Amino acid sequence: QVQLVESGGGLVQAGGSLRLSCAASGRTFTRFTMGWFRQAPGKEREFVAAISWIAYYADSVKGRFTISRDNARNTLLLQMNSLKPEDTAVYYCAATTTYTAAAMTALQTYPYWGPGTQVTVSS
């Protein structure tokens, strides 16, 4: 079991930056693959980025977002630069013990989720 809580969301203008954090507690953080997903109003939840010993990104955020983890602080980070209005969504942190590339990008392989944090990008 692992508990996840996101922070760092907010309102930002297009072209701006935000850094999301996800604090994890419970079982050993290092054993988990960690991911970020997002859900915009009226849309399905979608993959954003994931990290184990390698990082994967959705094409829509590649080159703009950077996922990282601080294992000493049990924290997952998402640095978001060059934000666009279409990045507006609730962002969720998630954890899984799966390590394959296909599974790391799939929403249904993550059993542990945070409550989410709202990111709004104005044009």
pLDDT at residue 48 in the model: 98
Q: Specify the residue for token string 């640095």.
A: 79
70-107 confidence digits (pLDDT tens): 999 999 999 999 999 999 999 999 999 988 888 899 99
Instruction: Please give the full DSSP string across the chain, using - where no structure is assigned.
Output: -EEEEEE--EEEETT--EEEEEEEEES-GGGSEEEEEEE-TTS--EEEEEESSSEEE-TTTTTTEEEEEETTTTEEEEEE-S--GGG-EEEEEEEES--SHHHHT-GGG--EE---EEEEEE-
Per the document, the length of the chain is 123
Strands 46-51 and 55-57: what pairing? Answer: antiparallel
Q: Specify the residue for token string 């996101």.
A: 6
pLDDT at residue 102 in the model: 86
43-66 confidence digits (pLDDT tens): 999 999 999 989 999 999 999 999
pLDDT at residue 101 in the model: 83
pLDDT at residue 115 in the model: 98
How far apart are alpha carbons 102 and 86 in whole angstroms?
25
